Structure 1
């Protein structure tokens, strides 16, 4: 399991790059760029080095945390997965690649694709002083076009990318991502109803092409949730002083909401249920909303059942769970 916190050396490198820059100006630029992303825009407003650093300082910690949580879920279900090749599509400042190298010591070849020169420059700068990322092969250009000639990788990641595209382009990208996947594909999106729908669409499309869900779903069937409910998770991460300044925030932590799906060429060896909301604990029982191989259930562990109650006390939103011996 890897920590959701941005590694100390990356955090220090970002702070060093921003040294001497007006924090107020950087915060203003980061807020403008972040709003563009939330409104469905692209990275086009990120033009200068300062733009890239300001944006990374504000958004990189939360994006890293979401990818780290998704990779933790993946490795929990498939602990034997040890990819040697990574393809990071729409890599931006390299956030997903940095998280993947923390999760997998086995990675040797790291290929990143993105069209933004300022973000590429920042990623290479951040990678240069780190032993395992110094050899980034960061290709500049439209990721969808670069995918056509990319060598298949054992791990492919598309993090906060498909929200920038229209429906037809999303379908084409999903197909291209799957063709480039020799092992497992991870897609991460904002934890909004719209982000969840994008995940659902890609999930259904790729299952039809032979993909198997590793996480978060314990099945390959249609999602059993009904609107207005949607599948998303929350990862809490610490905020550094710089992060607080760039976000204009007072709290020393942030809760990043995200949706994700990990799809594999091979069916996972086990199908564990998934906790869909924070379990509710009372004096008499703990109740957990679970997505199981057989659909949704509200599993209850009464206090009188000491073993089940103790097991459910350890559960948190997003965890994989063996709900045996709990009642429905």
Structure 2
């Protein structure tokens, strides 16, 4: 996967918001918000415009990278998909909407749903100078999802973990009911995040959905604990990002799990690289999820053409073994 960076216009808007503010105060707010999320809290901790900005500066780059990488996987396998409308559920500061706008020039209607007023206000302010995002609409009442019109593309990123186990099943039904064509769900790349993805995947396949990515099939996941399906996206850190997190490295790696589901069966299936391949002088070894299940594939150097292709495989890629 290539490294998706925040669009220049979004970076500039975030930097402008930070101008004149005390970095120490914003850093302290960001640290408190991060601790709350780690302790199982939710977006209610974000209560002011300063809180929303602190959250956006720390989390927007990583969330954007994960969503953009997932949308890239969608485009790779459904190159003709040209959605006109997006429903961004749990939109926060609008991160997924920015990623979708960058991915699909066809998008004209952006509907953002989030219960947090501070994050919604920030989303509107960040998007107001964007040619298409300037027309986004935001709602934050409890009935917004049920009353929203179905959209070609629906995204729920880093959201379903905020629901209890009983509530997730109902929420999954509500998401799918608003999906005109394709649904993307992204979660943290942890065992718990992966389990939530698998639960949603299983439920919606039973309701007639078909997997686009990352799975090359609609069958049961072949992985078993303690293994789990996740991917990593390296992303550059903004200068403010480095300052607020007290980071030393100019990049970070966001680990995420995701699933893209559609209402129509996929015509062609590709295998998925589930871990960094091991490239040796004799062979390339790779862990692949295939239409026939999990395979530990070894491509010998004596097969020069296949070996050359396998050397270019990257974790998370869809690959054609034929």
Normalising by the residue count of structure 2, what TM-score does the alignment of the two structures yield?
Answer: 0.98
Aligned residues of 2:5 and 2:235 also touching (Cα < 8 A): yes
Q: Which moved more, 1:103-112 or 1:21-30?
A: 21-30
**Separation (CA, whole Å) in 1 of partners of 2:3 and 2:233:** 11
Tell me the secondary structure at the aligned position of residue 185 of structure 1.
strand
Q: For each residue in 1:226-266, what CA deviation from the matched residue of structure 2 results, as whole angstroms up to 9, or x when unmatched? A: 11000000000001211111222110001000000000000
Looking at structure 1, the residues matched to 209 and 12 of structure 2 have their Cα atoms a distance apart, in angstroms, of: 39
Cα distance in 1 for partners of 2:214, 2:39 equals 26
CA deviations on 1:166-189 (whole Å, 9 max, x unpaired) are: 011111110000000010000000
Counterpart in 2 of 1:96? 96
Q: Which residue of 2 aligns with 1:59?
A: 59
Alpha-carbon deviation of 1:141? 2.0
The answer to whether the Cα contact below 8 Å between 1:218 and 1:274 also exists between their aligned partners in 2 is: yes
Asked whether the equivalents of residues 211 and 266 of structure 1 are also in contact (C-alpha less than 8 Å), the reply is yes
1-structure distance, mates of 2:284, 2:35 = 39
Q: Aligned-pair distance for 1:210? A: 0.3
Find the counterpart in structure 2 of residue 319 from structure 1: 317
Aligned-pair CA distance for 1:113:
0.3
Which position in structure 2 is the counterpart of 1:30? 30
Q: What stretches of structure 1 of length at least 5 have no aligned partner?
A: none
Q: Write out aligned runs for 1:104-143 (5 A).
A: 104-142=104-142
SS at match of 1:67: helix
Q: Determine if the alignment matches structure 1 residue 198 to structure 2 residue 192.
A: no
SS in structure 2 opposite 1:100? helix
Whether the 8 Å CA contact 1:2–1:72 is kept in 2: the answer is no
Deviates more, 1:240-249 or 1:250-259: 240-249
Instruction: Say if 1:188 and 1:260, in contact at 8 Å, map to a contact too.
Output: yes
Assess if the C-alpha contact under 8 Å between 2:185 and 2:197 holds in 1.
yes
Mapped to 2, the partners of 1:106 and 1:41 lie a distance apart of 36
Find the counterpart in structure 1 of residue 273 from structure 2.
275
Are the equivalent residues in 1 in contact too, given 2:288–2:297 (CA < 8 A)?
A: yes
Structure 1 residue aligned with 2:156: 158
Q: Is residue 154–residue 181 contact of structure 1 (8 Å, CA) maintained in 2?
A: yes
Distance 2:80 2:44 in 1: 39
1:47-73 deviation per Cα after TM superposition (whole angstroms, max 9, x unaligned)? 111100011000000000000000000
User: 1:140 Cα shift?
Assistant: 2.0
Structure-2 change in CA distance of 1:2 and 1:307 (3 Å): closer
Structure 2 distance, partners of 1:307, 1:123, is 48
Give the structure 2 partner of residue 229 of structure 1: 227
With structure 1 as the length reference, what TM-score do the two structures score? Answer: 0.96
Instruction: Let me know the Cα RMSD of the aligned residues.
Output: 1.1
Checking the alignment, whether the CA contact within 8 Å between 1:2 and 1:103 is kept in structure 2 is no
- Whether 1:82 and 2:82 are equivalent positions in the alignment is yes
Q: How many pairs are equivalent?
A: 322
**Contact 1:159–1:189 under 8 Å retained in 2:** yes
1:178 alignment counterpart: 176
8 A Cα contact 1:112 1:139, kept in partner: yes
Partner Cα separation in structure 2 for residue 12 and residue 304 of structure 1: 51
1:13 aligns with 2:13: yes
Contact 1:315-1:321 at 8 Å conserved across structures = yes
